[in-house]
Amino acid sequence: DKGMNHIGHLRNLEWLFLEDTKITDNGIKKIESLPKLTTLHVSRTSLTDQALDSIIKMKTLQRLKLNETKITDRGLRKLHGLKQLTYLEIHNTNISQEAINDLKKSIPKLHMITHRNY
């Protein structure tokens, strides 16, 4: 999380790949106000539903990968406000098909949700 303070000041950052890092729910707060961020990959991290409170503030976010995180149905419901989201990956999570269907109804532009549990 230490480096997140520096990343949070990169106002022109559009893509951020934090897969396989030790970022926490608190660390993600440091980047919630990046004005141009369109792509965020946080797969294989310890992020929980609490991190989505920060992610929903990312109003330019279009692509999101949450594979192998601790996100649940409850957290996924928070994404309903991200109307600009077009791509979501959620392999190996505790998210149900019902929650995915609800999200698809809520975000018409979301034309790809990947959901596999190995």
List per-residue pLDDT tens for the chain, 118 residues long: 888 989 999 999 999 999 999 999 999 999 999 999 999 999 999 999 999 999 999 999 999 999 999 999 999 999 999 999 999 999 999 899 899 999 999 998 898 777 666 6
Question: What's the confidence (pLDDT) of residue 34?
Answer: 95
Q: Which two tokens stand for residue 62?
A: 């279009």
